[in-house]
Amino acid sequence: MNLAVARMIDSGCIALAAVIAAHIAPEWSHENAPLQLLFAIVIVMSSVALLPAVRVYAVSPMQSIFRSCARILPAWLALQIAGLLLLLSIHPQDEALVSWIAWWTCFGAVLLGAWRLAAYAMYSSLRMAGPRASNVVVVGNGDYFKLIVEKLDSGRNSDFHVADVVEFHHADGRPGVGMGEHGKTELARLARLAESGGIHEVWLALPLSAHAVAAHCIDALRNTLVEIKLMPDLMPLGLHAGVASLDAFDIPSLSLSPSAMSNEAMTGKAIFDRAFALVALIGLAPLFVAIAIAIKLSSPGPVFFRQRRKGLKGLPFSIYKFRSMRVHAEERGVLRQATRHDSRITQVGRFLRRTSLDEIPQFINVLRGEMSIVGPRPHALEHDDLYGPLISGYLDRYRIKPGITGWAQINGYRGETDALEKMAGRVEYDLYYLRHRSFWMDIQIVLRTVVRGFFSKQAY
């Protein structure tokens, strides 16, 4: 879970526990209220500064609920004991304050543990609904390569499954820097495995000297959507674990994929997306009904417009929009984008498109798990076929769920893409989002969409 979000939740739990304890403690009195308020503020601020310092957030509850609680609860208890000693030095022998702190400590421990347990339970349920494990192909040669395959086969972590191994042989038996005929054959097989869609990750278990082999592998997988992780053999340097070690295996790893979003980050984003979409659909229900009625009265045809788009990993789905055009037949395989003063757009539809209200039904796609609140906008299939071979990195947009709004849209890239340069600019912003995406960046994009998104000059 995002570090900033976890710290905010912890601070809220600590403050809430203080309020509950103040009303539950038998000896509580209004006389101590000002001192208690000041003390509670000091403890909350101290928790914000001290809990990260003792590495409370080094372990996420989504990785291990037991290790997470084993770090937060002793730290919370130590903080309260230190606070109690400080308070008693100011107000000695005050039983009311001691009782309040005791209740506060108990309720704080319950709330801090409870939200972690809830996050772990929700994460586990989402994992159960999705793929059981990532199919991994391990690429390499030598003892280190065999060690990683052995660790995967040991079943220590059910998140990964060895789908295949690609072992490069050199003429003298060493893990070589040259490919050779055997290496080229194996590399071609690796590319076919990646293109088949049956594998999710490729792990390059190679010695540091085999950088040329790693470069060949990366180049062969450039036009696929598999996650590539480099796992260099650092043991000759006396290093056994890196800062970015793979969970549960203690293997140094470096993600080479543009998105580099962990399963934990994707799950946290999915939780936020669905909660936001549910609130939005409930809050916008009256507007939803009013728009549906206006569309039916404006022209004959359905309320919704559905079109096939590609989502995460390039899997197709049907996107929902409010219909803004008169019903018409498109030539098969040809997409005609809306243009300024387009005669196909109805009066109601023109207003919907200018205000982006035609996008509201996509909250349904978010609830169904097909889209995200923030992400690259999904393009028509015809555009994917046209621009995919022409724009470098275009395929990487499928490494994350498409969004209702995105970094490109709030920076002016929305509406018609009648030139290659416009689409290339949009893709550039999408790739920037993939590299720098964070929870706070998503919040910023949502807020800027609300403030600037209406009556855009590019929307017609």
Are 241 and 320 in a shared domain? no
- pLDDT, residue 32, reads 67
- Considering the domain boundaries, does residue 227 fall inside one? yes
Are 355 and 445 in a shared domain? yes
* For residues 368-388, average pLDDT: 89
Are 280 and 198 in a shared domain? no
- Considering the domain boundaries, does residue 460 fall inside one? no
How high does pLDDT run on average in the chain? 80
Query: Looking at 257, 289, 320, which one is the last position of a domain?
Result: 257
- Considering the domain boundaries, does residue 393 fall inside one? yes
Tokens of 352: 């919907």
DSSP-derived secondary structure for 36-87? HHHHHHHHHHHHHHHHHHTTGGGS-TTT-HHHHHHHHHHHHHHHHHHHHHHH
CA angle 50, 14, 88 (to 5 degrees): 75
State yes or no: pLDDT of 121 exceeds 60.
yes
State yes or no: pLDDT of 303 exceeds 70.
yes
State yes or no: pLDDT of 175 exceeds 50.
no
Q: How many CB atoms lie within 10 A of CB 100?
A: 26
Q: CA-CA distances (angstroms) from residue 184 to 145, 311, 340?
A: 19, 32, 52
Query: Looking at 209, 237, 257, which one is the last position of a domain?
Result: 257
Query: Looking at 99, 129, 159, which one is the last position of a domain?
Result: 129
Are 249 and 320 in a shared domain? no
* For residues 168-183, average pLDDT: 58
- Cβ(449)–Cβ(409) under 8 Å? yes
- pLDDT, residue 171, reads 38
Are 190 and 123 in a shared domain? no
- pLDDT, residue 177, reads 46
Tokens of 376: 């690259």
pTM for this predicted structure = 0.63
CA angle 345, 346, 348 (to 5 degrees): 125
Into how many domains does the chain fold?
A: 3
- Considering the domain boundaries, does residue 459 fall inside one? no
DSSP at 313: G
Distance CA 16, CA 439 (A): 24
Are 116 and 141 in a shared domain? no
State yes or no: pLDDT of 434 exceeds 80.
yes
State yes or no: pLDDT of 250 exceeds 70.
no
Which residues are paired to 246 by β-bridges?
A: 251
Which among 145, 148, 149, 203 is positioned nearest to 174, based on CA atoms?
145
pLDDT band (50, 70, 90) for residue 24: confident
Are 314 and 381 in a shared domain? yes
Are 234 and 352 in a shared domain? no
State yes or no: pLDDT of 117 exceeds 70.
yes
- pLDDT, residue 377, reads 92
Are 151 and 122 in a shared domain? no
Indicate the length of the chain as a whole number: 460
- Burial class from Cβ neighbours inside 10 Å (0-12, 13-18, 19+) for residue 188 reads exposed
Q: Which of 8-12, 79-83, 150-154, 289-293 has the highest mean pLDDT?
A: 289-293
Strand 254-255 vs strand 227-230: parallel, antiparallel, or unpaired?
Answer: antiparallel
Lowest-pLDDT range of 88-97, 181-190, 316-325: 88-97
- Considering the domain boundaries, does residue 457 fall inside one? no
What CATH number should be reported for the domain holding residue 252? Answer: 3.40.50
- Considering the domain boundaries, does residue 318 fall inside one? yes
Are 180 and 240 in a shared domain? yes
Q: How many CB atoms lie within 10 A of CB 117?
A: 14
Quote the domain boundaries for residue 322: 264-452
Are 280 and 422 in a shared domain? yes
- Cβ(390)–Cβ(415) under 8 Å? no
pLDDT, one tens digit per residue, over 326-349 is: 876 565 555 555 555 567 788 888
What percent of the chain clears pLDDT 90, i.e. is strictly above it?
16
SS3 per-residue string spanning 76-126? HHHHHHHHHHHHHHHCCCCHHHHHHHHHHHHHHHHHHHHHHHHHHHHHHHH
- pLDDT, residue 243, reads 45
Are 245 and 332 in a shared domain? no
State yes or no: pLDDT of 94 exceeds 60.
yes
- Considering the domain boundaries, does residue 458 fall inside one? no
